[in-house]
Amino acid sequence: MTEYSVIDDPIEFQTACRLLAAGIGPVAVDVERASGFRYSQRAYLVQVFRRGAGVFLFDPPAIGDFAPLQEAIGDVEWVLHAASQDLPSLRELELQPATIFDTELAARLLGHERVGLAAVVEDTLGITLKKEHSAADWSTRPLPVAWLDYAALDVLHLIDVRDAIAAELEEQNKIEFAAQEFAATLAQPPRPPREDPWRRLSGLHQVKGARGLAVARSLWEAREEFAQQQDTSPGRLVPDRSLVAAVLANPQSKQALAGVQAFNGRASRSQLDRWWNAIVRGREAPAVPRERGHSDALPPARAWVDRNPEADARLKLARPVVEAHAEELGMPTENLLKPETLRRLAWAPPALTTDAVAAALSDLGARPWQVEQTAQKIVDAFVEAGQPTDQPDAPES
């Protein structure tokens, strides 16, 4: 087996970029992060393969400026697996593809039962990849040789997979579907900051009252600040359950907080002043949070029959129609049309014409191919849902 090494030297980096620029065809690109270990989602390893050039493993913290790599490969197709996961980390390095081919997304459109990288490689090429290092701490230095082999294999076969998948797309007449999906993935803007992110604390539902929520918010903010300073995943410092336990225990002193058995974690005692001060700030905060956060989420579908019976009827007729068409096309329903898109359309539909429904679908983010495949079927189902149900004939007197 080829032994791979990490490129962290500027001269070696420049040489690798020249080789990649002289390579042939698209480039396979992958990123390894340290999710669950570090606070940031930055890339700690970037893997690149191109035919005629070979596999290269780059060390982002050591290299810093990736402009030479962008110049070398920026104008060719980048092949990624689950591109939406890697593009933010690549963009942080100012690495931006002009076009992409997403083998994971394409496998979904083709109806593959398994869409993980190892499964897709095995299904298309008959090659078995080991995935034992997928959850490793890639900020480790030096990286073990076994990890480097694993990282290299993530891109070594990706171009061959791309070619096999592209042939399948051609056979199933889904090339245009895939092209639109790839373009949408590439154009997807960064997610806006979540409102009240502290409300995602696991177990927060146990906390009652606005003042308790203020303490939970304060503890979450203190942990975020410390995690960012340490570049450590927040849950590795103090788990969510421990923050919630501290709120529920309602300690009246720092010593009492230290005595809360469920308040644990590697920074629970070493940063005791930090956590106690956060509790005090939460208790004294002049503005307490709402007991429920703002949400534009629709009611659960099971409640529609009472809250919006017309919408309930529309959804109950349209959903199986869309599901059946997805099955005809050989793809998961959510790839034909997101269930949330159909729910929103059913809840507050436009005029029941093909053009109006098509425009509404587009406004909700559906791609042109999805609109073409579903708009008329949804109109037909909605119209049928609005028809009066046949009543049994009244008995003769």
Q: SS3 for 101?
A: strand
Task: Please compute, for residue 142, the number of CA atoms within 13 A of its CA located in the half-sphere on the CB side.
Answer: 9
Judged against a pLDDT cut of 60, whether residue 391 lies above it is answered with no
CB atoms within 10 A of CB 332: 16
The answer to whether 59 touches 45, Cβ cutoff 8 Å, is yes
The answer to whether 325 touches 372, Cβ cutoff 8 Å, is no
Q: SS3 for 232?
A: coil
- Per-residue CA distances from 153 to 2, 121, 212 (Å): 10, 10, 49
Judged against a pLDDT cut of 60, whether residue 281 lies above it is answered with yes
Q: How far apart are CA 111 and CA 126, in angstroms?
A: 18
Q: Tell me what pLDDT residue 397 has.
A: 40
The answer to whether 377 touches 321, Cβ cutoff 8 Å, is yes
CB atoms within 10 A of CB 6: 20
Bridge partners for 64 per DSSP:
none
The pTM for the full model equals 0.90
Q: Which amino acid is at 245?
A: A
pLDDT digits (tens, 9 = 90+) for 251-261: 999 999 999 99
The kind and range of the H/E element at 57 are strand 54-58
Q: How far apart are CA 109 and CA 170, in angstroms?
A: 12
Average pLDDT over residues 240-247: 98
The answer to whether 79 touches 101, Cβ cutoff 8 Å, is yes
Judged against a pLDDT cut of 80, whether residue 292 lies above it is answered with no
